[in-house]
């Protein structure tokens, strides 16, 4: 049986192309499972998984929990807001207390970049990074690539533009790593203040004209502006941002080809993307959500098979 080259999923940066192919092939099987009338398989029946979220989450938390339950794992949910973290408990103490209850895997979202890496060095459990600050969000990038593969047949050679707040986005960084690993051409587009310096060193090109970027691409992945991570103003107003970097149906219809529209969610309708675009035939946003469960099932299954 093929297995992953890693014992934890901490970031796309640590995966190779074979790992991604293996995850996708496994996710293909699980996608078929979740579309059956009986959606459960007993694969992880003796595995206990703790979902530890130090930041708010709707889609990712639900998606992981559903993936775990579809695999028949025992699930423990932990929310930092109602925990001893508020009393000053450290991250390692919190997780070690949970592990002493005999938990096999930890799915963690944390506001600090590198939290998952730090944890993987100090605790005996498989760690899945569900987002660490503005660093990485590996399962989101995997489900995005899986959705492109499903829609267009292959990721290699495709032109993908990531539009919006690149500076604060963990989704953008993980997507760049994943897309480049699979041989896609990647552009980033947004206000210059929201594009990190030296991003070209990751093998991507920068475009500040949205229309040119859309004309070039096969797929546009629209990111929201992450106001909660901003301590200063990066552009004059939301209205001005929307005028320059928002995608509407009129703009899409004026292109001389049909492109695929993606969004990791949550969507700020009327800011980076209008409702008629989000709900159009060109959008695969809800397919991304469905694929998220299958991809996360694949990741959990493959990591669980490496637990000794």
In CATH, what number is assigned to the domain containing residue 230? 3.40.50.1370
Average pLDDT over residues 108-127: 92
Q: How confident is the model at residue 78 (pLDDT cuts 50, 70, 90)?
A: confident
Is the entire prediction scored with pTM above 0.85?
A: yes
Structurally, the chain folds into a number of domains equal to: 2
Query: Is residue 153 annotated as involved in ligand binding?
Result: no
Query: Is residue 113 annotated as involved in ligand binding?
Result: no
Q: Give CA separation, 105 vs 34, 74, 285, in Å.
A: 22, 10, 29
Q: Which of 85, 74, 67 is nearest to 26 (CA)?
A: 67
How far apart CA 113 and CA 102 sit, in angstroms, is 26
Average pLDDT over residues 16-39: 96
Q: For CA atoms 255, 258, 260, 265, give the dihedral sign.
A: positive
Q: How confident is the model at residue 227 (pLDDT cuts 50, 70, 90)?
A: low
Greater pLDDT, 85 or 299: 299
Give the model confidence (pLDDT) of 125-138 as tens digits: 999 999 998 899 99
Query: Is residue 224 annotated as involved in ligand binding?
Result: yes
Query: Is residue 18 annotated as involved in ligand binding?
Result: no
Give the model confidence (pLDDT) of 245-289 as tens digits: 999 999 999 999 999 999 998 998 999 999 999 999 999 999 999
How far apart CA 6 and CA 234 sit, in angstroms, is 38
Say what the pLDDT of residue 26 is. Answer: 98
**Same domain, yes or no, for 17 and 122?**
yes
**Same domain, yes or no, for 249 and 298?**
no
Whether 3 maps to a domain, the answer reads: no
Contact 123, 106 (CB under 8 A): yes
**Same domain, yes or no, for 204 and 260?**
yes
How far apart CA 188 and CA 246 sit, in angstroms, is 14
Range of the domain at 257: 138-284
Query: Is residue 59 annotated as involved in ligand binding?
Result: yes
Whether 2 maps to a domain, the answer reads: no
Query: Is residue 36 annotated as involved in ligand binding?
Result: no
88 pLDDT more than 80: no
Query: Is residue 226 annotated as involved in ligand binding?
Result: no
How far apart CA 177 and CA 142 sit, in angstroms, is 10
How far apart CA 135 and CA 250 sit, in angstroms, is 34
Tokens for 159, please give them: 């032109």
Give the model confidence (pLDDT) of 166-196 as tens digits: 998 999 999 999 999 999 999 999 999 999 9
Whether 217 maps to a domain, the answer reads: yes
How far apart CA 162 and CA 149 sit, in angstroms, is 17
Query: Is residue 211 annotated as involved in ligand binding?
Result: no
Query: Is residue 137 annotated as involved in ligand binding?
Result: yes
Instruction: Tell me whether residue 27 is exposed, middle or buried, using C-beta atoms within 10 angstroms of its C-beta: 0 to 12, 13 to 18, 19 or more.
Output: buried
Q: Are strands 126-132 and 205-207 parallel, antiparallel or unpaired?
A: unpaired
**Same domain, yes or no, for 51 and 171?**
no
Query: Is residue 140 annotated as involved in ligand binding?
Result: yes
Q: Give CA separation, 236 vs 94, 195, 243, 244, in Å.
A: 41, 16, 12, 12
**Same domain, yes or no, for 280 and 147?**
yes
Whether 213 maps to a domain, the answer reads: yes
């Amino acid at each position: 049986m093929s297995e992953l080259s890693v014992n934890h999923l901490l970031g796309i940066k640590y995966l190779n192309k074979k790992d991604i192919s293996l995850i996708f092939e496994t996710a293909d099987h699980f996608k078929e499972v979740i579309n059956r009338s009986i959606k459960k398989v007993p694969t992880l029946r003796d595995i206990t998984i703790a979902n530890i979220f130090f930041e708010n989450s709707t889609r990712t938390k639900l998606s992981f929990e559903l993936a775990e339950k579809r695999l028949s794992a025992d699930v423990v949910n932990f929310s930092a807001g109602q925990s001893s973290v508020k009393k000053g408990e450290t991250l390692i103490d919190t997780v070690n207390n949970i592990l002493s209850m005999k938990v096999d895997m930890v799915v963690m979202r944390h506001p600090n970049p590198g939290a998952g890496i730090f944890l993987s060095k100090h605790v005996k459990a498989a760690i899945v990074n569900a987002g660490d600050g503005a660093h990485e969000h590996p399962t989101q990038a995997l489900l995005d690539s899986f959705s492109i593969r499903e829609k267009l047949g292959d990721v290699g050679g495709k032109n993908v533009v990531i539009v919006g707040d690149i500076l604060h986005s963990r989704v953008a960084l993980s997507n760049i790593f994943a897309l480049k690993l699979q041989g896609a051409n990647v552009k980033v587009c947004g206000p210059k203040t929201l594009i990190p310096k030296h991003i070209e060193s990751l093998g991507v090109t920068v475009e500040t004209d949205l229309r040119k970027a859309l004309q070039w691409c096969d797929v546009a992945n629209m990111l929201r502006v992450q106001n909660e991570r901003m301590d200063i103003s990066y552009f004059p107003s939301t209205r001005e941002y929307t005028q320059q970097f928002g995608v509407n149906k009129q703009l899409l219809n004026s292109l001389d080809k049909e492109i695929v529209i993606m969004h990791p969610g949550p969507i700020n309708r009327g800011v980076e993307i209008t409702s008629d675009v989000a709900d159009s035939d060109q959008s695969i946003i809800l397919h991304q959500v469905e694929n998220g469960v299958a991809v996360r099932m694949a990741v959990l299954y493959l990591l669980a098979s490496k637990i000794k």
